[in-house]
Amino acid sequence: MVNKGFVLWFNEIGKGDVSLVGGKNASLGEMISKTKIPVPPGFAITSKAYWHFLKENGLEEHIKRELKGINTKSVKDLEKAGKSIRRAIMKAGIPNDLENEILDCHKKLSGVSGINKPLVAVRSSATAEDLPNASFAGQQETYLNTSRKDLIEAVKKCYASLFTNRAISYRGDKGFDHFSVALSVGIQIMVESHSSGVMFTLDPDSGFRNSIIINASYGLGEYVVKGVVTPDEFTIFKPTMKIIERKLGSKERMLTKKFGKNIDEKVLSFLRDMYSIEDKDVLKLAKYGMSIEKHYKRPMDIEWAKDKNGKIFILQARPETVHSNLNSNTIEKYILEEQGKLILTGHSIGQRIGAGTASVIKNVKGIYKFKAGEVLVTEMTDPNWEPIMKKASAIITEKGGSTSHAAIVSRELGVPCIIDAIDATRTIKTGENITVDCTEKVGKIYSGILKYRIDHREIENLPKTKTDIFVNVGVPDESMDASKLPVDGIGLAREEFIITSYVKEHPLHMIKKNRQKEFLKKLSEGVAKIAAPFYPRPVIVRMSDFKSNEYAGLKGGVEYEPLEENPMIGWRGASRYINKKYEPAFRLECQALKAARDEMGLKNIKIMIPFCRTIDEGERVLKIMEEEGLERGKDLEIYAMAEIPSNIWLADKFSRLFDGFSIGSNDLTQLTLGIDRDNETLSKEFDERDEAVKRSIKHLIETAHKYRRKVGICGEAPSNYPEFVKFLVECGIDSISVNPDVAVKTKLMVSRAEKPK
């Protein structure tokens, strides 16, 4: 240890030194000394130096006097006390012995790094910062590209940042005594960043543990952290270490260094249209993230940079503090009970709903106008906004990604937030009543105060059932939430929902425009987003089952679709796949599923063929699939929907072609009874409980089981009719797949039905 313990090199410290060097510096030291993670060299000015600075300048009494009895809910009180303390700190001098040690270590840093007169990053590291139960979310300051002559002033600025309005407010709210928190300062060689960003070793929105989320943009990482830019985003699936989703961010601006100064620059348009890092960089970062998480034994929030020579460095690593501390035995779900006029959309954070009067504030100087319970609408936030963020019923920002300041703080506060809501400050007016719905990935802002409810579901100690309980998942963004349920897998993932929400164009139209790769990418990533959260639980993906009128509704679809009187029993399912007109599109679907299974490693995907009328159709479909690398039997199971009477009465022959069946009870009911299910008069009179339908189901299960084929059902009837569940269990059905909101209820009904009489 150096004299008086004022300065320690990173390689001299570790995670046991938080009280001395703060969470941030302790973590850097830990990575340097205990792992092979590349971290820029540096040293820490310890908390002892901070107390020495306060004592030598007689600042302790001044601070105590200003903070005595402070109301942390009052912006004016915070401003008055904070300003007085910060001014006193900046006027004070750094003691000579401390200043000499700092400058001496900076000189040695030149030798360690091989850089003459190195520029450094000066980062605050609070002694209570980045602990498992608290995230200070950038409350203390960081100063980049700092020269030797500005170093001492930057250290004082860090000390002063311990008493910003938001830092005083946060400590008060969390119950931290202001004198139980000290400040260490990290001095670290600057990385000349070509690109940089943030990485979470879980999904920061849903808390899904098997994902790594990486945000990346050009230049220094401050713009990603502060939400100035919408960055690129990559999702990596941990069990296979494959990229399962890429989102191109707008990346309009970047912070870079020129002539030793931080310069704000516009990103050239051709660079904005490219990803800021390559796939190999993404995977290297993910590997570092896994190593760091393994070392700390918990999910981590990590900042990184890639230099101009292509080398990647880890700049910070701290525990993730939101999802790691939640009770996993209770699922909370917000449900909007009425619809309103949609004003805007964006990226949702927090999976909640909030409503109130909008307060549009374009500059932090206007936060005094904000009243508790209002909806904050602004361009972006930084730590200076936190005193009012905690009072908001919801937050809306025009910029930022899922790892920006607004996103991180709103998650911690439990406040619903929509980021990247373009032109929000112009579209929404102060005084306007609005509702912010963050229950889906696409956040929605509605006009008016809409009704909503909160459901709480306890999932602990649920009974085990012999019958598998699956869920139906449509939109990919729903899968992570559904995966938390006590279910055995996905019984129905509809490809058409993925095409509608991700692809949005007719596949033949895209083929004509020579955009097959785009179709493959979007469909394979959509399928992967559904399958990954459930891995290794089985996920049955049904190939597209659009009717001709639905296909015509896709962009470019009218050119390729016939006008049918009754599309429900028209050109759909297997008959479409083997038709020469549509076959090229079906082959693309096969290639997309092969990519999800083979390239992304999601072997839990099973495939299901809908509306297969005849044995010949089934054989021809399987032949095309085999030609595209989807061969049944080679670690791949292929199922058929059982929704046509021919599937029931030829179940023995279909069992030779397929590995199992999933009963589509809606279609089976209408085709067994000759009902148009869209006819309101008739549809109210008949349902799956009709004797003819029940006999069909019983026959299918008995026949399929003779051939050791599994049978499930994926309609709504089991969740609607308890007596129908009892019938299915008595028939020996293998699985029941329902919508996620009734999965727990259905599991309990099945458990009761399975109990011996």
Confirm if 362 and 378 have CB atoms less than 8 A apart.
yes
State the pLDDT at residue 2.
40
- At 132 the pLDDT is 47
pLDDT of residue 1: 38
With a cut of 60, say whether residue 130 has pLDDT above it: no
Q: Reduce the DSSP state of residue 392 to 3 states and report it.
A: coil
- H/E stretch holding 300 reads strand 300-307
With contact defined as beta carbons under 8 Å apart, do 699 and 675 qualify?
A: no
- Average pLDDT on 437-449 reads 94
> What does the pLDDT look like over 360-395, one tens digit per residue?
999 998 998 999 999 999 999 987 888 899 899 999
pLDDT, position 328:
63
- Helices 743-754 and 722-731 sit at what angle, rounded to 10 degrees? 50
Amino acid at 600: M
3-state helix, strand, coil in the chain (%, to 5): 40, 25, 35
Q: Are 396 and 407 in contact (CB under 8 A)?
A: no
Which one, of 748, 741, 744, lies nearest residue 726 by Cα? 748
Q: What pLDDT, on a 0 to 100 scale, did the predictor assign at position 746?
A: 93
Q: What is the pLDDT of residue 284?
A: 98
Residue 596 carries which DSSP code? Answer: I
CA 311, CA 288: separation in Å to the nearest integer? Answer: 13
pLDDT score of 619 more than 80: yes
- What tokens does 92 get? 């004070």
Mean model confidence pLDDT for the chain: 92
> Measuring CA to CA, which residue among 284, 130, 275, 273 is closest to residue 212?
284
Cα separation, 719 vs 741, whole angstroms: 10
Angle at the Cα of 121 from the Cα atoms of 309 and 18, rounded to 5 degrees: 115
Lowest mean pLDDT segment, chosen from 114-128, 515-529, 602-616: 114-128
Q: Residue type at 487?
A: V
Q: Percentage of residues in the chain with pLDDT exceeding 70?
A: 96
Q: What is the DSSP string of 67-129?
A: HTT--TT-HHHHHHHHHHHHHHHHHSPPPHHHHHHHHHHHHHHHHHHT-SS--EEEEEEETTT
Q: How many CB atoms lie within 10 A of CB 514?
A: 8
pTM value is 0.86
Residue 133 has pLDDT above 60, yes or no: no
Question: CA-to-CA distance for 660 and 609, rounded, in angstroms?
Answer: 11
pLDDT higher than 90, residue 441: no
Nearest alpha carbon to residue 492 among 187, 735, 240: 735
pLDDT digits (tens, 9 = 90+) for 682-725: 766 778 899 999 999 999 999 999 999 999 999 778 888 889 99
Q: Are 110 and 117 in contact, with CB atoms under 8 Å apart?
A: yes
What is the average per-residue pLDDT within 727-744? 94
Alpha-carbon span 500 to 478, nearest angstrom: 14
**All domains of the chain in start order, with CATH:** 3-189 (3.30.1490.20), 193-324 (3.30.470.20), 328-456 (3.50.30.10), 462-754 (3.20.20.60)
Cα gap 179→182, rounded to integer Å: 7
Instruction: Please give the pLDDT value at position 178.
Output: 87
Instruction: Name the least confident of 324-338, 385-399, 527-541.
Output: 324-338
Backbone phi and psi for residue 301, each to the nearest 5 degrees, phi listed first:
-115, 120
> What pLDDT does residue 269 have?
96
Find the mean pLDDT for residues 158-185. 87
Q: What is the pLDDT of residues 256-282, one digit of tens each?
A: 987 667 899 999 999 999 999 999 999
pLDDT of residue 566: 84
Distances (CA, A) of 532 to 151, 517, 597, 743: 47, 22, 10, 19
Share above pLDDT 90 across residues of the chain, in percent, rounded to a whole number: 73
Report whether 405 contacts 137 (CB < 8 A).
Answer: yes
The H-assigned helical ranges of 297-332 are none
Residue 669's CB: how many other CB atoms inside 10 A? 23
**pLDDT at residue 326 in the model:** 66
Beta strand pairing call for 342-349 and 417-419: antiparallel
pLDDT at residue 353 is higher than 60: yes
Averaged pLDDT for residues 400-416 = 88
Q: Does 610 have pLDDT greater than 60?
A: yes
Catalytic residues: 405, 714
